[in-house]
Structure 1
């Protein structure tokens, strides 16, 4: 099972979402929900594969199962985060924001010192606020996401927050400020060895 899950994730990571989905579904058919750790990994994999394939109804079903099987506050906030990600990718921004606010309340109550969790949550809130055309709130949330990312010393989170700020300022028609943030994002992703992250930012800059 571990080998199959590892192969499925490699396929997903390479952008081969259909084959990843097939493997995850094979695992899902075999695995009992009592095998918590593997069941959790399979549901997470299915959520990602179905979301990237834009099979949002299926993704929502798996997210609902993920929330139901969460055994502690940490798993609950991760599961709610995944549900929010699905709604954001589906363009259901109001639903996404409600879920990320639920997640934020859980983190503040149970993990107030988890800078990485707070950064990921505020990044999503910032991005969704931008999609809802509330650019001042988007910038405020994304600056908070950057602050927590820097406290966590996680280069990927730092790069994501800088990229988010670049997108928000570009949407605010502050092209020069946006370019500065995009360059900082590229630097962070390069330090992390994330070539995909670098290319993504370059693509945003060229639009």
Structure 2
């Protein structure tokens, strides 16, 4: 089962969502919810493959199951984060923000020193605020996300926060400031060896 799940994730990572979905659904049919770790992995995988194919109704069903099967505060905040990600990708920004605020409350209460979790949460809040056209709040949240990302020393999170700031400042018509942040994002992704991250930022810069 572990091998099949690894193969499914590799297919997803390579952008082969249909084949990844088939494998994950085969696993889902076989794994009982009592096999917690594998069941959790399958649900996480299904949430990603359905969301990336814009099958949001299915993704929401799996996210509800993920929230229901969470056995502790850490799993609960991850599950709520996934539910928020689905709503953000679906463009239901008010609902997404509500979920990310719920997640933030859980993190602050139970994991106040988890800089990486706080960065990921604030990144989403910043991005959703931008989509809701509240650019001052978006910038404030994204700067906080960057602060926590730097505390965690996680290069991918640092790159994401810089990229987010670039997008927000571009939307605020501050092109020069945006370009500085985009360049910093590229540097972070290059250091992390994330070529896809680099290309994504270059694409944003060219728009």
Indicate yes or no: 2:9 matched with 1:9. Answer: yes
Distance 1:107 1:3 in 2: 32
Report deviation, 1:195.
0.2
Report deviation, 1:132.
0.1
Report deviation, 1:74.
0.1
Distance 1:17 1:166 in 2: 29
Report deviation, 1:25.
0.2
Q: Which runs of 5+ in 1 are unaligned?
A: none
Deviation string 1:49-80 (CA, Å, 9 cap, x unpaired) is 00000000000000000000000000000000
* Runs of 4+ with >3 A deviation: none
Report the equivalent of 1:162. Answer: 162
Distance 1:13 1:73 in 2: 28
Report deviation, 1:199.
0.1
Report deviation, 1:142.
0.1
Deviation string 1:83-112 (CA, Å, 9 cap, x unpaired) is 000000000000000000000000000000
Distance 1:170 1:66 in 2: 36
Deviation string 1:149-194 (CA, Å, 9 cap, x unpaired) is 0000000000000000000000000000000000000000000000
Distance 1:18 1:173 in 2: 38
TM-score (norm 2): 1.00
Question: What's the C-alpha RMSD, in Å, of the aligned pairs?
Answer: 0.2
Distance 1:182 1:51 in 2: 26
Report the equivalent of 1:80. Answer: 80
Report the equivalent of 2:21. Answer: 21
Distance 1:127 1:168 in 2: 8
Question: The residue matched to 1:6 in structure 2 has which SS?
Answer: helix
